[in-house]
Structure 1
Amino acid sequence: MTKIPKKTNQILKNKIFPSTLKLKLDERLSNGSFRELTIKNADLVDFSSNDYLGFASNENIEKLATSKINDYKDLKFGATGSRLLSGNFPLIEDFENYLADFYQVESATTLNSGYDANLGLISAIGQRQDLILYDALCHASIRDGIGLSKAKSFKFPHKDFENLKAKLAKFQSEFKTIYVITEQVFSMDGDQTDVKEITEICNDFGAYLILDEAHAVGTISQTNVENSNYNIFARVLTFGKSFGAHGAVIFGSSELKDYLINFAKSFIYTTAPSSRNIAHNWAAHLLLKDSIDEFEQLQFNIAYFKEISSKFNLENCFIESYSAIQSCVIGGNNQVKNISKQLEMKGFDVRPILSPTVPNGEERLRFCLHSFNTKNEIYSVLENLSKLLL
């Protein structure tokens, strides 16, 4: 048995956290980017959550979910294992078939989260002879998936399709397969990609498009079924936004589903979603079809928000967006945290987005709009913001 030297043993007893990691935490503290977990204050007006249509507190979803579970016999509370072992059950198979029909696609593969979906999909498909081109503002889950893949990768400037075409022309003959990845609605800026145009570009160059629709369904489109008309290799949709739940699905061909089941590690090596989770997501989809009032109210609130921001001469600080995400760029971690705190004292939950999540100097307040926000709430929060920015 190897004996630990007394001096080393004493160091371990006195220091259970490595100094190299402490330095990284200290750096976050010094530049104002240190993050802490906080309990959401239910008394504040919600301008921070992804619950765009108010589904997270919709009692009808719980009733529909219970009814859906009652349709199946011998369901366990937990999944009991991965889907390739003991965690595959009729409810989840039927839900995937429902999703494929609902979104008018060939196959649907559910995963535990949007992060898992992007990580598993992108890391699995990128081979050594492949190239991945991605929008510079793509989400961290996309970037991490790229980092785990074997493919070479380059980013193109945000929504710069001319630059994308130039890169496709340059690399077309050098790589066996080229993938292009973008988001339909970008999570930090709230602006949108022209899906039709980027699909046509990919088709012209023989590239395969991956589209993240996380913030699109229920916000800019009630169901996003129109994307089924385009020749898209893979679409990723999360249930943690407009559906007020948790989980994700990857849409594509039946061959893509077979590939994911065999090679996507975030699918293979994790416990399957619980039956309750699947039933909740199914119920949310059933409700979405009949939620035209909530969707139209959200569109009204987006337009009203932009109208009032203009009234208070705030349009120059807001990134142009027609989605539920409206970002006011302020700059400086401490500055944006301070304004967020002052809005909280006025009764509004508006979260600061700090660097390094966004580039240094582009720190911002991100307003997430919902169907349940009132005109008075929107007017009041923007009025308070205008005073704080004077």
Structure 2
Amino acid sequence: MSLFHKFAPLRAAYDRLESAKSNPFNVAFDRVLSPTEARIGDREILLLGTNNYLGLTYDPAVIARAVEATEMFGTGTTGSRIANGSYDGHKRLERALADFYGRKHAMVFSTGYQANVGVLSALAGKNDHLLLDADCHASIYDGSRLGHAQVTRFRHNDPDDLANRLRRLGDTPGDKIVVVEGIYSMLGDAAPLREFAAVKREWGAYLVVDEAHSLGVLGQTGRGLAEAEAVEADVDFIVGTFSKSLGGVGGFCVGDMEGFDILRVVSRPYMFTASLPPSVIAAALEALHQLRTRPILRERLMDNARQFYYGLADLGFNLGPEPNPVVSAIMPDPETAFAFWSRLLDAGLYTNVSLPPATPKGLALLRSSVGAAHTPDQIDHALSLFAEVGRAMGLIAPARAEVRAAG
């Protein structure tokens, strides 16, 4: 018997996608032309599923800084931050992040996933309690497992349920650490952070906010939901990633708490992972500068997000609760989601399929992510393709002109 026998049901489902030519896991772009366009074979594809929120992957200054760093420092550090992997660029990026957030401390991880795993596994020990929003990202749940803390889930975006669970833990020994996200990656909904902050204060808990999808999106200066909701003083730690608005790869954590730097020697994902290459660090530094000095990028991003969200709503698609750069159309089932995705790709539009267990409530989602680099015409084109496929599959009503003609 194969070691992989336990995955037989998943393998069968995967093979069915292959035979139907609707497997989103096998898409390979032959060339990426811009933040919004790519080529597959001889076809140009409009990209609407990349999380490239500010469109900085092709920014000339960002690319130039990455090239300069590669020429000066080489292609990699070949070691962890603790061993030989801390360069001047890592320190400068950490100072820049701390300054951006108005915090005393910052540390950089090799991925956003590792930032959550590394921070949460270190903050919460086996006698502590992590209280996680039910819809938190897999990296948050994985971090809770690595740290052996007692884990309590509360209902998604429900401050009353969080308060009830903290009340039940009232006299239980150990620290209580609440973890929520700024914008949730599947349905694009934001947390009621003011209410969560009030519950945190009432019960003497700590609060960690993952701003992965809200950095560069929300807040007057782009710091995220905590800034937008004016509760930054109540947030003990902010975790984020460079792979969304900053257009690269890597993660970070910022905070004010005394003793913060001990995380560098108690966080195993930080200690035992090679540090980010100089080119990636330099690109992230420049992308952060672009975020701070070009607020027009956030304005364009949200204009595009609203155009796409309300356009899909007008067509009759069932969507997440609010317009943000993550816009998900809820499909009846996984098979329909795959078929819809495949037809869109055939028509020249790339989106994402998201399925349980990654999605809340077992939903099958056709997930799009809008960016600042999209033009209004590109958004309109995407909407026209959604309309065409949706009507062809019977998921939305026929166009009004067609209804009149039929009558």
Please give the TM-score of this superposition, normalised by the length of structure 2: 0.84
Could you say if the C-alpha distance between residues 382 and 82 of structure 1 is closer, same or farther in structure 2, counting changes exceeding 3 Å?
same
| Contact 1:312 1:383 (C-alpha < 8 Å) held by counterparts | no
Match of 2:172 among 158, 171, 174: 174
Corresponding letter in the other structure for 2:235? I
How big is the alpha-carbon RMSD for the aligned residues of Structure 1 and Structure 2?
A: 2.3
Could you say if the C-alpha distance between residues 360 and 191 of structure 1 is closer, same or farther in structure 2, counting changes exceeding 3 Å?
closer
Alignment partners' CA distance in 2, 1:163 and 1:24? 36
Could you tell me how far 1:275 is from its partner in structure 2? Answer: 1.4
Aligned to 2:264: 261
Aligned to 1:6: none
Which moves more between the two structures, 271-280 or 288-297?
288-297
Which moves more between the two structures, 326-335 or 111-120?
326-335
Could you tell me how far 1:163 is from its partner in structure 2? Answer: 0.6
Aligned to 2:399: none
Aligned to 2:297: 294
Corresponding letter in the other structure for 1:262? V
Segments of structure 1 that go 5 or more residues without pairing to the other structure are: 1-14
Match of 1:94 among 87, 92, 95: 92
Structure 2 counterpart SS, 1:91: helix
Corresponding letter in the other structure for 1:218? G
Corresponding letter in the other structure for 1:137? D
Could you say if the C-alpha distance between residues 334 and 95 of structure 1 is closer, same or farther in structure 2, counting changes exceeding 3 Å?
same
| Contact 2:197 2:231 (C-alpha < 8 Å) held by counterparts | no
Could you tell me how far 1:382 is from its partner in structure 2? Answer: 2.4
Which moves more between the two structures, 59-68 or 285-294?
59-68
Match of 2:243 among 240, 258, 265: 240
Q: How does 1:1-390 map to 2 (within 5 A)?
A: 17-26=2-11, 28-29=13-14, 36-40=25-29, 41-42=38-39, 43-66=44-67, 75-221=73-219, 222-224=221-223, 226=227, 229-253=232-256, 255=258, 257-314=260-317, 317-359=318-360, 361-387=362-388, 388=390, 389-390=395-396
| Contact 1:333 1:355 (C-alpha < 8 Å) held by counterparts | no
Corresponding letter in the other structure for 1:224? R
- Deviation sequence 1:333-367 (CA, Å, 0-9, x none): 11101001111122111111122322575101111
Could you tell me how far 1:263 is from its partner in structure 2? Answer: 0.8
Please give the TM-score of this superposition, normalised by the length of structure 1: 0.88
Structure 1 counterpart SS, 2:135: coil
Corresponding letter in the other structure for 1:280? A
Could you tell me how far 1:35 is from its partner in structure 2? Answer: 6.6
Corresponding letter in the other structure for 1:169? R
- Deviation sequence 1:63-91 (CA, Å, 0-9, x none): 24456789xxx734321311111111222
Corresponding letter in the other structure for 1:136? A
- Deviation sequence 1:133-182 (CA, Å, 0-9, x none): 11010000001111222211111111011010011111021132101001
Could you say if the C-alpha distance between residues 126 and 80 of structure 1 is closer, same or farther in structure 2, counting changes exceeding 3 Å?
same
Alignment partners' CA distance in 2, 1:78 and 1:19? 34
Corresponding letter in the other structure for 2:217? T
Structure 2 counterpart SS, 1:56: helix
Alignment partners' CA distance in 1, 2:65 and 2:100? 17
Alignment partners' CA distance in 1, 2:23 and 2:345? 19
Alignment partners' CA distance in 1, 2:136 and 2:100? 27
Segments of structure 2 that go 5 or more residues without pairing to the other structure are: 30-37, 397-407
